[in-house]
Structure 1
Amino acid sequence: MKRKATSRRRRRRSGGTVGKRTVSKVMREYKRGQLRSSRGGKVRSRKQAVAIALSEARAAGARIPKRRRRRG
């Protein structure tokens, strides 16, 4: 019975691999200066690069939580 529990834990943990891979790939492109926006211009802002990475990860099927809204 103990083996089943560990395999379930592993499955849960590995669920984020699609998102992590996609985000890391996009951020690598940004660091190299190769990331472009949908309009074709080079992405200069790190925040914009993160937004692009998360949207691509969602499109790839990763379960990524929605952005938290600030109060103010």
Structure 2
Amino acid sequence: MLAGGQGYLGRVLSRFYEAAGADVVVLGRKPAAATSRIRTLQWDGKMPGNWKEELENADLLVNLCGKNVNCR
């Protein structure tokens, strides 16, 4: 599971884990098209939602939320 995984690093990690055969769940603010192994769930980080059950069953959580790394 990639929280805040819709940016550059999230896309790189999603493709890496997809190629390794993992099912990837991306938590993001915007809906996105799913692939065979990558799907996006909308969340706001404040309210529980359908992503909560996904988190309980996740093997790994990578938190990419926060400030963009491409800034001064």
Q: Greater CA radius of gyration, 1 or 2? A: 1
TM-score (norm 2): 0.28
Q: Which has the higher strand share?
A: 2
Q: Which has the higher helix share?
A: 1
